[in-house]
Amino acid sequence: MPSDVTRRLEQWQAKTEPDDVCRKLKQVRQTMVRRRAQQQVLLVEVETKGRRVLNRADVPTIFYPHYLNFCREVFARRQRFAGASLAREVGVLVEKWALQTLDRALLERIRDEALSVPPPGP
């Protein structure tokens, strides 16, 4: 029996055969494009809602990219988590961005108003 390393390498080589990868990608490409388009529509909505909160708070536009990056990170977490787990993950993101000198109260407003994520529980 070949060693574990040899077996793993053989399996990796088999699944990364360029012709096979190309054939498989062609089969699923339309579905991938459709899903990507749907995700981009949702992401633009999130960014637009975040901008509205920033506009109402009279935030200087030079800070918009940082707050929008927060929005994008929350959006990514919403794809993977829900409920209390999501709330905890977003709580960590609020802390992260607050430590990078963004306004904590504004981050929380974006979280609540634009992203509809509840604050983490006790």
pTM of the model: 0.80
Confirm whether 1 is domain-assigned.
no
Banded pLDDT at 101 (limits 50, 70, 90): very high
Q: Name the one residue in this structure whose structure tokens are 């459709």.
A: 34
Q: How far is CA 120 from CA 61, 71, 73, 82, in A?
A: 29, 17, 16, 12
Confirm whether 120 is domain-assigned.
no
Banded pLDDT at 95 (limits 50, 70, 90): very high
On the CB side of 105, how many CA atoms lie within 13 Å of its CA? Answer: 2
Q: Evaluate if residue 9 carries a pLDDT over 60.
A: yes
Confirm whether 25 is domain-assigned.
yes
For 19-56, how does the pLDDT look when each residue is reduced to its tens digit (9 = 90+)? Answer: 999 999 999 999 999 999 999 999 999 999 999 999 99
If one counts the domains in the chain, the total is: 1
Banded pLDDT at 116 (limits 50, 70, 90): confident
Give me the pLDDT at residue 51, please: 96
**Which residues form the domain of 88?**
10-114
Q: How far is CA 108 from CA 66, 74, 75, 105, in A?
A: 14, 12, 14, 5
